[in-house]
Structure 1
Amino acid sequence: MGVAKARTKPESAMTDQDRSDAAAKHRDTEEEVQEAHRPDALLLHEIIRAEGEDELRRTAVALTLSAFAAGLTMGFSLIVPGVLKSHLPDAPWAELVTSVGYSIGFLIVVLGRQQLFTENTVTPILPLLHQRTWLNLSRVARLWGIVLGANIVATFAIAYALAETDAFKPEVRAAFAEISHHAVEGPFLTTLIKAVFAGWLIALMVWILPATGSAAPFIILLMTSLVSMCGLTHIVAGSINAFYLVVTGAIGPAEYVWRFFLPTLIGNVLGGVTLVSVLNYGQVAPEVEERGAPTR
């Protein structure tokens, strides 16, 4: 018995309908490949750069309110670990559990699209690197000044509320104090180095989030819990701890500035801008120029 073999029609024998069907099938295949393929570095760059352009155009009032809300929300990065610590036994594994609690503030802020200073070491920097003009530099400086200022004012407000009210039991407030001392225990250089690593991790989180889809909450929990687990310093979350000590009289305002604020700010900016924004921009810069990526 002979077996019939399927043959592909030669192009000369194809009708217009055959060609149309083949083209449609090719387009469908390309779309499936694009959906299954992870975003490449250039696509991630363009997504984050577009977000940065949007942030740079926001009004001062919108930025201030969003950043103030973020500073208040970050209070949960002290509240949750403090509550957990007050209920957990004094064991080595307990710190791992409280590190997860530290992530709650970040989780709410990032998913809620509130303005956090360390995220802005990436998003507005890409438009600046793409168009290195004094105008863009002034726009970034404006954004940084508003967001950082509102973040810090809000962290003082939430720290004052935690220290001066009876919202939490004495044992929980004792846990707040114990956790907070870690923020100011190191010398200037040590704190700065720890802050570089923290800024690096947070900026990496911002860079990879567009590629994570529904896994975004897990990525936020993972990256931010590493900051706490490794004892690194974050300018906003750590300011709540340091201000808690200032309000309770454990340290003075000058100690907050010199032992925490300045080294942490410098380190977070260095870690985010140089180790993530500049390096990741560098790997796609030739493609950006070759493809003529649109500017806004």
Structure 2
Amino acid sequence: MSQLASKEQTTKEDGEGFAMSREERGDVHHLRPPRPVVLHETIRREGEQELARSVSALGWSSLAAGMTMGFSMLARALLHHHVEGLPGAFLIECLGYPFGFLVVILARQQLFTENTMTAVLPLMTDPGWAKLGCLLRLWGVVFAGNVVGGALFAWGVLHLQLFDASTQASLHAVGAALMQNTPWQMFTKGIAAGWLIATMVWLLPAAERGKIAVIVIVTYVIALGDFTHIIVGSVEVLYLVFDGAASMGDYVMRFALPTLAGNIVGGSLIFALISHAQVRSDDESDGGREAGH
């Protein structure tokens, strides 16, 4: 009798490849990846929450994030110090780069490049001057807080006598390698970094228990490609400024402005815009099909 009952429960509905029980159809539904519109809406709602936060909340959170991101530079420099000269040393030292991102994202601190994706979707969904003003306010506060936090970290690492001379030399080497890029390279590599960070933000809602892996893999690729990130790079270059190896003009003109522009172009004007257009097209197609019925 139980076998007969099982056979009765196993049916084939229209559009199914094979006959399945109700429980099996539930498993299929549960295991399916979320539709792009679900990811878009999840990120958009997060963006709405960020746009509604007060200046003081954004400021303190972004200051903490800027200081935390300094550990990406520090971890990479420490690995550089210990593995320099070994085969595959560059691949190993790049493993330190994801550390700051892991802490900032999992602790939900405000990171500027993450907001180039998250906070821009509400504006693309419902364009208006009020939304644009909120976005610019968010970007301004978060960017300023991140840079100030990164500057405090760089100054502290240099002047608080935390490390010996050879480790300080490794910290210097990381920043010097970054400044070998021309302003145009800062910009184009910044586009790649902004695109990858936006990709990471898009993947996180679907990752569930794999969030750590997503963050580590994406940011490791940024390090491997020597792509330029405005916040981590600010810590690296400001360390050189405080050490007298670079000027503030070098930081602003050669690094910060082109890298900032590249991160925004890659994260907001390319990835976010394409993702929004994809979801909008899918929604219009679904609306057309429903109208046809």
Shared fold, TM over 0.5:
yes
Kindly provide the amino acid, as one letter, of the partner of residue 83 in structure 1: L
**C-alpha offsets along residues 126-147 of structure 1, whole Å, 9 cap, x if unaligned?**
1101001111111110100010
Q: Is the 8 A contact 2:83 2:93 kept in 1?
A: no
Report the CA distance between 1:117 and its aligned residue: 0.3
Structure 2 unmatched runs, 5+: 10-20, 288-293
Q: Which residue is equivalent to 1:68?
A: 63
Q: Percent identity?
A: 38
Residues 167, 143 of structure 1: CA spacing in aligned structure 2 closer, same or farther, 3 A cutoff?
A: same
Kindly provide the amino acid, as one letter, of the partner of residue 34 in structure 2: P
- After TM superposition, list the pairs within 5 Å mapping 1:21-100 onto structure 2: 26=22, 31-100=26-95
Report the CA distance between 1:187 and its aligned residue: 1.4
Q: Which residue is equivalent to 1:240?
A: 235
Count of aligned pairs: 273
Moved over 6 A (4+): 4-7
Measure the CA separation in 2 of the matches of 1:92 and 1:138: 51
Report the CA distance between 1:40 and its aligned residue: 1.4
Q: Which residue is equivalent to 2:218?
A: 223
SS at match of 2:108: coil
Kindly provide the amino acid, as one letter, of the partner of residue 182 in structure 1: A
Kindly provide the amino acid, as one letter, of the partner of residue 201 in structure 2: V
Measure the CA separation in 2 of the matches of 1:70 and 1:288: 36
Q: Which residue is equivalent to 1:143?
A: 138
Q: Which residue is equivalent to 2:15?
A: none
Report the CA distance between 1:290 and its aligned residue: 7.1
Report the CA distance between 1:37 and its aligned residue: 0.7
SS at match of 2:118: coil
Residues 287, 251 of structure 1: CA spacing in aligned structure 2 closer, same or farther, 3 A cutoff?
A: same
- After TM superposition, list the pairs within 5 Å mapping 1:147-296 onto structure 2: 147-288=142-283
Kindly provide the amino acid, as one letter, of the partner of residue 138 in structure 2: L
Report the CA distance between 1:114 and its aligned residue: 0.6
Q: Which residue is equivalent to 1:119?
A: 114
Kindly provide the amino acid, as one letter, of the partner of residue 212 in structure 1: A
RMSD over aligned Cα, in angstroms?
2.0
Report the CA distance between 1:89 and its aligned residue: 3.5
Residues 191, 92 of structure 1: CA spacing in aligned structure 2 closer, same or farther, 3 A cutoff?
A: farther
Residue 104 (str. 1) matches residue 64 (str. 2): no
Q: Which residue is equivalent to 1:130?
A: 125
Kindly provide the amino acid, as one letter, of the partner of residue 66 in structure 1: S
Measure the CA separation in 1 of the matches of 2:116 and 2:138: 11
**C-alpha offsets along residues 59-110 of structure 1, whole Å, 9 cap, x if unaligned?**
1111111100000001111111111111113135111111110110111111
Measure the CA separation in 1 of the matches of 2:97 and 2:63: 19
User: TM-score, normalized by length of structure 2?
Assistant: 0.88
Kindly provide the amino acid, as one letter, of the partner of residue 84 in structure 2: P
Report the CA distance between 1:287 and its aligned residue: 3.9
Kindly provide the amino acid, as one letter, of the partner of residue 65 in structure 1: W
Q: Which residue is equivalent to 1:14?
A: none
For the pair shown, the structure with the greater C-alpha radius of gyration is 1
